[in-house]
């Protein structure tokens, strides 16, 4: 952000676009106004953008591109109608609109793409998590969530709570997600991990389970419990082998439960990849 939170408004050319827009957008969002002097809507929009830049006082920069002069820039960014406004962040276009828009619409776009107060806290938390400093990551994410009640932060906090063995808190945070966000792959993966953790917590030791399965191959409960241990140890193929056996050996209700557990493992694996494809096909064959 610029010193004194003063608005940054400037003309930009093809020669300085990389420095003034692309590079700058790594530090500060840049709104680029593609305009021309003969364009009547441009003459109405540009003063509005200037007013908004002043109102937000340094939260974003406003760059103006005269397309009559900078035809190469206009072509590079696919400008086909005027005015065109593109919002740059971290070197990429993250939002845009064409034509004169109401002030409220433009404000909504600006608000959507402005950096949040929580962003530095989340970055620090991710660094702490990667370094194994789980308690620090938890504290930072809790502070971030208090600043910005956002489901992405809530899910990250749930994941770190799971990593720390705080399963009840992870489950509570997961339940607090919106219904739509609970259906996202990462949320379903965490829900699956919590379910397998619950199964493993109530299961006999692994050695005992293996001995049981060796003597009673049709013991589907033991196979399911062993699969839970294997999931937690990231032995996903081992878990899928056990669950596939449950699908083949159990009655209807047990088959459906095992099928759901296999789908849960697929969620943990991101729903794609060679292992998922292999066992999705094997599951389909076993069910038909």
Tell me which fold the domain 200-287 belongs to: 1.25.40
Q: What is the pTM of this model?
A: 0.66
Closest C-alpha to 113, from 136, 138, 134, 88: 88
DSSP state of 176: T
What are the residue ranges of helices labelled H in 114-166? 119-130, 134-147, 151-163
Reported as half-sphere exposure (CB side, CA atoms, 13 A), residue 209 has a value of: 19
220 is catalytic: no
Cα–Cα–Cα angle for 167, 172, 174, rounded to 5 degrees: 95
**30-35 vs 61-66, strand pairing mode:** parallel
Cα 224 to Cα 124, 131, 270, 284: the distances in Å are 38, 33, 21, 19
pLDDT by residue (tens digit) across 59-76?
Answer: 899 999 999 999 999 999
Phi, psi angle pair for 149, to nearest 5°: -75, 85
Spot the catalytic one: 32, 39, 145, 226. 39
Q: Please give the Cα distance from 233 to 265 (Å, whole number).
A: 12
DSSP state of 28: S
* Digit-coded pLDDT (tens) for 202-213: 999 999 999 999
Pick the CATH number of 119-183 from 3.50.50.60, 3.40.50.300, 3.30.70.920, 1.25.40.10: 1.25.40.10
Residue range 138-190, pLDDT digits in tens: 999 999 999 888 899 999 999 999 999 999 999 999 999 999 999 998 999 99
Residues 6 or more apart whose Cβ sits within 8 Å of residue 242? 223, 224, 226, 227, 230
Q: How much is the average pLDDT of 41-46?
A: 95
* Each residue's pLDDT tens digit, 98-145: 999 999 999 998 988 887 878 889 989 999 999 999 999 999 999 999
Overall fold of domain 3-113: Glutaredoxin (3.40.30)
pLDDT tens-place string over residues 222-271: 999 999 999 999 999 999 999 999 999 988 878 899 999 999 999 999 99
Pick the catalytic residue from 21, 42, 170, 228: 42
Domain boundaries, the chain: 3-113, 119-183, 200-287
Give the relative orientation of helices 236-249 and 252-268 as an angle to the nearest 10 degrees.
160
Topology match between the domains 119-183 and 200-287: yes
In the residue annotation, 42 being an active-site residue is answered as yes
Distance CA 161, CA 142 (A): 11
Residue 32: closest CA among 44, 15, 49, 19: 49
Cis (ω within 30 of 0) for the bond into 25? no
């Amino acid at each position: 952000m610029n010193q004194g939170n003063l608005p940054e408004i400037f003309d930009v050319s093809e020669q300085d676009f990389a420095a003034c827009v692309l590079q700058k957008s790594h530090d500060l969002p840049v709104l680029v106004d593609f305009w021309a002097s003969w364009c009547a809507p441009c003459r109405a929009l540009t003063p509005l953008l200037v007013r908004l830049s002043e109102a937000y006082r340094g939260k974003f920069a406003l760059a103006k591109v005269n397309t009559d002069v900078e035809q190469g820039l206009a072509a590079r960014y696919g400008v086909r109608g005027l005015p065109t406004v593109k919002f740059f962040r971290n070197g990429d276009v993250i939002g845009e609109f064409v034509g004169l828009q109401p002030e409220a619409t433009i404000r909504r776009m600006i608000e959507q793409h402005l950096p949040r107060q929580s962003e530095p806290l989340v970055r620090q938390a991710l660094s702490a998590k990667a370094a194994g400093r789980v308690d620090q990551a938890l504290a930072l994410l809790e502070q971030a969530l208090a600043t910005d009640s956002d489901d992405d932060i809530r899910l990250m906090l749930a994941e770190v709570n799971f990593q720390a063995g705080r399963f009840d808190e992870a489950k509570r945070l997961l339940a607090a997600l919106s219904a739509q966000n609970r259906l996202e792959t990462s949320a379903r993966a965490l829900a699956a991990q919590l379910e397998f953790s619950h199964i493993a917590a109530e299961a006999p030791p692994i050695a005992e389970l293996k001995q049981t399965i060796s003597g009673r191959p049709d013991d589907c409960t033991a196979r399911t419990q062993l699969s839970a241990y294997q999931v937690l140890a990231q032995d996903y193929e081992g878990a899928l082998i056990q669950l596939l056996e449950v699908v083949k050996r159990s009655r209807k209700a047990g088959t459906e439960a095992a099928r759901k557990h296999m789908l849960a493992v697929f969620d943990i694996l991101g729903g794609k990849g060679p292992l998922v494809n292999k066992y999705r096909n094997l599951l389909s064959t076993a069910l038909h």
